[in-house]
């Protein structure tokens, strides 16, 4: 099981996505982020991963929620991912060995080349909503078998619930 962060960088009606060059997401478009390392806070991880993957420093990331991924059955947690968005950053975007970076118009997001669950929860992020979600995938992590989403009340801001895991 892993803990990770994911940041959807949105600016001027576009979203920055990365086509992963390795790992479980190889060949898929996704937001920026990655696994939380030992003794690293969620926010520290988020800032580090975005810097490593795009050479930018995000400002004022907004916490949207948490997603639990299950593999095969609900007793087997595959991972937990903390979801953020950011509209402001410093620096010039540069690709890394992590994968290709590309801006997509918000009405042309390549959901057919992303994880299946992205088409369900990413629109909530784009609408500025907060949520908790669970996705049950098959054993191969290829197909969603079931999912649950609970919308949360409150403002989108740095939320205390994301500081520990």
Q: Mind listing the pLDDT tens digit of every residue in the chain (165 residues)? A: 999 999 999 999 999 999 999 888 899 999 999 999 988 999 999 999 999 999 999 999 999 999 999 999 999 899 999 999 999 999 999 988 889 999 999 999 999 999 999 999 999 999 999 999 999 999 999 999 999 999 998 655 554 444 433
pLDDT of residue 157: 53
pLDDT of residue 161: 44
What is the domain partition of the chain in residue ranges? 2-155
CATH superfamily membership of 2-155: Nucleoside Triphosphate Pyrophosphohydrolase (3.90.79.10)
Cα distance from N-terminal residue to C-terminal residue, the chain: 13
Enter the pTM of the model: 0.91
* Locus of tokens 């959807």: 8
Report the greatest alpha carbon distance in the chain. 43
Helix (H, G, I), strand (E, B) or coil at 118: helix
- pLDDT value for 156: 53
């Amino acid at each position: 099981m892993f803990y990770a962060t994911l940041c959807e960088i949105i600016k001027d009606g576009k979203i920055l996505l990365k086509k992963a060059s390795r790992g479980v997401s190889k060949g898929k478009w996704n937001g920026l982020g990655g696994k939380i390392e030992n003794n690293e806070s969620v926010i520290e991880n988020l800032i580090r991963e975005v810097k490593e993957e795009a050479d930018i420093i995000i400002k004022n990331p907004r916490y949207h929620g948490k997603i639990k991924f299950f593999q095969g059955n609900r007793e087997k947690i595959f991972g937990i991912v903390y979801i953020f968005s950011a509209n402001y950053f410093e620096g010039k975007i540069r690709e890394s060995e992590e994968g290709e970076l590309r801006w997509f118009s918000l009405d042309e997001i390549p959901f057919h080349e992303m994880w299946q669950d992205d088409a369900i929860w990413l629109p909530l992020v784009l609408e500025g909503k907060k949520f908790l979600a669970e996705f049950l995938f098959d054993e191969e992590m290829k197909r969603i078998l079931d999912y649950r989403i609970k919308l949360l009340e409150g403002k989108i801001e740095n939320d205390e619930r994301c500081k520990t895991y």
